[in-house]
């Protein structure tokens, strides 16, 4: 696919905004600190392409007034820590066109071609020169549109990114603002001295298990990966939930395993089977938990920043595969239920006490050899099941597809609600090429057998 860049704009806030350095919370500075890509596809619009780009530029500049943090730049301040400089340097908006047509994308399975539709972030450039948000509008030969963007995970998590996109689209449609962002990171105690030693043993900050007999994960990091988008119908989801809850107490006060706990347990078991793990192989599953309503008091509505914690479920492949699905779901629930106000505060204290945060930063987008690695024999499953990911209308109609950009890291996976059928789910998963076909078979086999 040939994509021609026609123009690149630096878009700055429409009116003056606050300037100066802003402290980031510990949660902004660990995990993925690089940019995260997303893409939207739209049907052909009756609006002229020059009117579309002008409206996008204008609405983006107005959206950057309340969301002025995104127009700033990150700075390393030593000890693996970052600060955000609010300097209105702006974000990048690229105009592009392609001779391809929407029909060429089929069912929009993420592919390497998406790299032409999403702005590239050049990490060879000093961090303090990189925009925190880059957007590319591509007009196809048929008149269809894609909007590809990549946004710094050191500044926002998924919920905050979607809040910004929703407000930008609202302004683009000419509607009044909705929820304004809450920008004060101090509610996550950024910059305060630790109040006490951590109360808990935070295993999630340790290194995940290695393959048995291996001293490091260097070889696993190098292996070629591929992506699959697997669909489960509402009936298949219900079937899995029934399997997970089979044999549990009929006491109605005991909460049944959720859709996320069930599906994630099923993914974990299927991955272990596909990777042909030995029964004694330790394996962890990283679970991303939103703490906004779990801390006391709850974070203000519109909290703009990272408020999600990665916790881990731990087991052995033999236990996962020899026991019913409910066992895997129970391990995942245990991990999720650890995230209380006390646990979040304890984890914050743990991170504040660290002399250097580098080892907690996932910089695999830079092909680094350090930092956490949730590839073989581990996995990470992020849920977008309850996020308002669909219906982004900038004035030319809602998208016909929305999904992750290119993710090529073994063990990365994402659960999305299907846009077409209520109750059905899509799993976007990246695994080593050597394991993908076996995984697909395992993923559907158990459902069809039961």
Q: Does the pLDDT value for residue 364 go beyond 50?
A: no
Find the mean pLDDT for residues 215-243: 93
**CA–CA separation, 33 and 362 (whole Å):** 7
The DSSP secondary structure of 73-87, one letter per residue, reads EEEEEETTEEEEEE-
- Dihedral sign for Cα 391, 394, 400, 404, please: negative
> Which residues lie closer than 8 Å to 126 by C-beta, 6 or more apart?
none
pLDDT band at 356 (very low <50, low <70, confident <90, very high): very high
Which residues are registered as beta bridge partners of 39? 148, 403
**How would you classify residue 362: left for phi > 0, otherwise alpha for psi between -120 and 50, otherwise beta?**
beta
Single out the catalytic residue among 62, 153, 202, 407: 153
CA nearest neighbour of 429 among 440, 445, 447, 414: 414
Percentage with pLDDT > 70 across the chain: 94
Q: How far apart are CA 416 and CA 263, in angstroms?
A: 11
Distance, CA of 409 to CA of 210 (rounded, Å): 16
Residue 367: pLDDT band with limits 50, 70, 90: very low
| Six-digit token string for 61 | 């500049």
Quote the Cα angle for 236-240-245, to 5°: 145
Q: What is the CA radius of gyration of the chain?
A: 22
Tokens 């996008």 belong to: 56
Catalytic residue (choose from 58, 290, 393, 408): 393
pLDDT tens digits along 50-77:
999 999 999 999 999 999 999 999 999 9
Q: Is the pLDDT of residue 362 over 80?
A: no
pLDDT in tens, 305-326: 999 999 999 999 999 999 999 9
Residue 2, SS3 per DSSP: coil
Largest CA-CA distance found in the chain, in angstroms, rounded: 63
pLDDT at 284: 97
Domain 212-449 CATH superfamily: Chloramphenicol acetyltransferase-like domain (3.30.559.10)
Q: Choose the CATH number for 3-188 among 1.10.3720.10, 3.40.309.10, 3.90.850.10, 3.30.559.10.
A: 3.30.559.10
Average pLDDT value over all residues in the chain = 91
Q: What is the pLDDT of residue 365?
A: 46
SS3 222: helix
Which alpha helices (H) appear in 5-48, and where do they start and end?
Answer: none
Whether residue 159 contacts residue 115, with contact meaning beta carbons closer than 8 Å, is answered with no
Q: Which is higher by pLDDT, 254 or 141?
A: 141
Sign of the alpha-carbon torsion through 27, 130, 173, 417: negative
- Report the pLDDT averaged over residues 434-445: 97
Close Cβ partners of 293 (under 8 Å, ≥ 6 residues apart): 299
Lookup result for tokens 């399997």: 243
User: For residue 145, is pLDDT > 50?
Assistant: yes
Query: Active site includes 408?
Result: no
Domain 3-188 and domain 212-449, same fold? Reply is yes
Q: Which of 388, 424, 427 is nearest to 110 (CA)?
A: 427
C-alpha–C-alpha distance, residues 229 and 371, integer Å: 27
Which residues, in sequence order, are CB contacts of 27 under 8 Å at separation 6+? 188, 305, 306, 307, 308, 309, 348
Please say if the pLDDT value at position 210 is more than 50.
yes
pLDDT, tens only, 170-209? 999 999 888 899 999 888 865 556 666 778 889 888 889 9
Residue 324 in tokens: 């019913």
Using 50, 70 and 90 to split pLDDT, how confident is the model at 421?
confident
- Cα 59 from Cα 49, distance rounded (Å): 15
Dihedral angle sign, alpha carbons of residues 344, 346, 347, 352:
positive
Which pLDDT does position 262 carry in this prediction? 97
Cα 14 to its chain centre, rounded Å, is 29
> For the segment 113-130, what is each residue's pLDDT rounded down to a tens digit?
888 999 999 998 999 999
More confident call, 368 vs 162 = 162
What pLDDT shows up at residue 304?
97
Q: Parallel, antiparallel, or unpaired for β 91-98 and 3-11?
A: antiparallel
Mean pLDDT of the region 259-263: 97
Query: Is 128 a residue of the active site?
Result: no
Average pLDDT over residues 95-123: 90
Q: Integer distance in angstroms from the first to the last C-alpha of the chain?
A: 43
pLDDT score, position 450: 60
In the chain, what are the domain boundaries?
3-188, 212-449
């Amino acid at each position: 696919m040939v994509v021609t860049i026609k123009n690149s704009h630096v878009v700055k806030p429409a009116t003056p905004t606050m300037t100066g350095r802003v402290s980031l919370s510990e949660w902004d500075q660990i995990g993925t600190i690089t940019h995260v890509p997303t893409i939207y596809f739209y049907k052909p619009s009756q609006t002229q392409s020059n009117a579309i780009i002008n409206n996008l530029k204008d609405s983006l500049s107005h959206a950057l007034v309340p969301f002025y943090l995104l127009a700033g730049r990150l700075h390393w301040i030593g000890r693996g820590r970052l600060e955000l400089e609010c300097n209105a340097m702006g974000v990048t908006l690229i105009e592009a066109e392609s001779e391809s047509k929407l029909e060429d994308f089929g069912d929009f399975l993420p592919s390497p071609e998406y790299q032409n539709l999403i702005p590239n972030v050049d990490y060879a450039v000093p961090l303090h020169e990189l925009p925190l948000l880059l957007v590319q509008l591509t007009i196809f030969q048929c008149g269809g549109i894609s909007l590809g963007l990549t946004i710094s995970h050191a500044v926002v998590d998924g919920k905050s990114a979607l809040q910004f996109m929703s407000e930008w689209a609202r302004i683009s449609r000419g509607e009044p603002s909705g929820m304004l962002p809450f920008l004060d990171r101090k509610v996550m105690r950024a910059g305060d001295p630790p109040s006490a030693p951590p109360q808990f043993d935070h295993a999630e900050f340790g290194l995940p298990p290695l393959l048995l007999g291996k001293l490091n994960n260097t070889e696993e990091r190098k292996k070629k990966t591929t992506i699959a988008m697997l669909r489960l119908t509402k009936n298949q989801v219900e079937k899995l939930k029934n399997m997970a809850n089979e044999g549990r107490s009929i006491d109605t006060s005991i909460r049944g395993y959720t859709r996320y706990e069930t599906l994630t347990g099923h993914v974990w078991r299927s991955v272990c089977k596909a990777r042909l793990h030995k029964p004694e192989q330790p394996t962890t599953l990283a679970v991303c938990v939103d703490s906004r309503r779990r801390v006391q008091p709850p974070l203000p509505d519109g909290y703009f920043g990272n408020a999600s914690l990665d916790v881990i479920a731990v087991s052995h492949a033999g236990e996962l595969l020899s026991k019913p699905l409910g066992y895997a779901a129970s391990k995942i629930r245990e991990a999720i239920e650890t995230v209380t106000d006390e646990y979040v505060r304890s984890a914050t204290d743990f991170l504040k006490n660290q002399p250097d945060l580098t080892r907690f930063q996932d910089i695999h987008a830079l092909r680094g050899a350090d930092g956490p690695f949730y590839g073989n024999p581990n996995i990470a499953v992020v849920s977008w099941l309850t996020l308002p990911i669909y219906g982004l209308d900038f004035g030319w109609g809602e998208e016909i597809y929305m999904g992750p950009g290119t993710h090529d890291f073994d063990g990365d996976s994402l659960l999305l609600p299907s846009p077409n059928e209520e109750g059905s789910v899509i799993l976007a998963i990246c695994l080593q090429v050597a394991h993908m076909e076996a995984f697909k078979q395992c993923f559907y086999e158990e459902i069809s057998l039961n």
